[in-house]
């Protein structure tokens, strides 16, 4: 059942990451257009500079669930050599729990920040557009990342409990 859940989560995360990367490509094209218009016609696209940081934050956050589900993080794999497969898997599970705790904490703090920004009615510098929705979206994407990491925790513990019968994780 966990493997089926993992496959479905990976499919959804890939779609979300594709949306984020498409957004980054769109932003890159708009940045090129902005630079061209700025130099040739002395007419910049104000929205590119004004919304760029927030737009990029959302686009990058779209990629987090996939990176976590694919375990695309830095790992030092020497425990199995010295202590065996069982200890190595236990350390992997403990590391997954630590990452989960960090992601939950970051998502919670970002959500509280987003709510503060929303209540303060903070806006962008030039166009006076509200920035709260951007930060709420990033917070929601980090919450989705926390859910994805919770699945990773469950998978790592299942590997620990299965012992040598558990297949090696596929990247």
CA-CA distance, 116 to 139, in Å (whole number)? Answer: 13
- What pLDDT does residue 149 have? 97
Domain layout of the chain by residue ranges: 2-165
- What pLDDT does residue 21 have? 97
Tell me the CB-side half-sphere exposure of residue 36, using CA atoms within 13 A. 6
Q: What is the pTM of this model?
A: 0.87
- The phi and psi torsions of 100 (rounded to 5 degrees) equal -60, -45
- What pLDDT does residue 73 have? 75
- What pLDDT does residue 24 have? 95
What is the average pLDDT value for the chain, to the nearest integer?
91
Work out the angle at residue 17's Cα, subtended by the Cα atoms of residues 70 and 60, and round it to the nearest 5 degrees.
100
Residue segments in the chain with a per-residue pLDDT below the cut of 70: 74, 76, 164-171
């Amino acid at each position: 059942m966990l493997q089926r859940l993992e496959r479905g989560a990976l499919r959804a995360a890939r779609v979300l990451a594709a949306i984020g990367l498409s957004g980054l490509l769109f932003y890159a094209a708009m940045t090129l257009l902005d630079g061209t218009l700025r130099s040739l016609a002395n007419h910049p696209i104000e929205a590119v500079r004004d919304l760029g940081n927030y737009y990029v934050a959302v686009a990058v956050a779209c990629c987090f669930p996939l990176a976590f589900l694919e375990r695309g993080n830095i790992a030092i794999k020497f425990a199995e050599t010295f202590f065996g497969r069982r200890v190595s898997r236990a350390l992997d599970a403990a590391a997954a729990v630590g990452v989960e705790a960090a992601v939950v904490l970051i998502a919670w703090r970002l959500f509280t920040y987003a709510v503060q920004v929303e209540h303060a009615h903070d806006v962008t510098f030039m166009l006076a557009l509200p920035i709260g929705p951007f930060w709420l979206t990033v917070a929601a994407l980090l919450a989705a990342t926390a859910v994805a990491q919770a699945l990773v925790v469950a998978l790592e513990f299942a590997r620990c409990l299965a012992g040598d019968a558990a297949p090696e994780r596929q990247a």
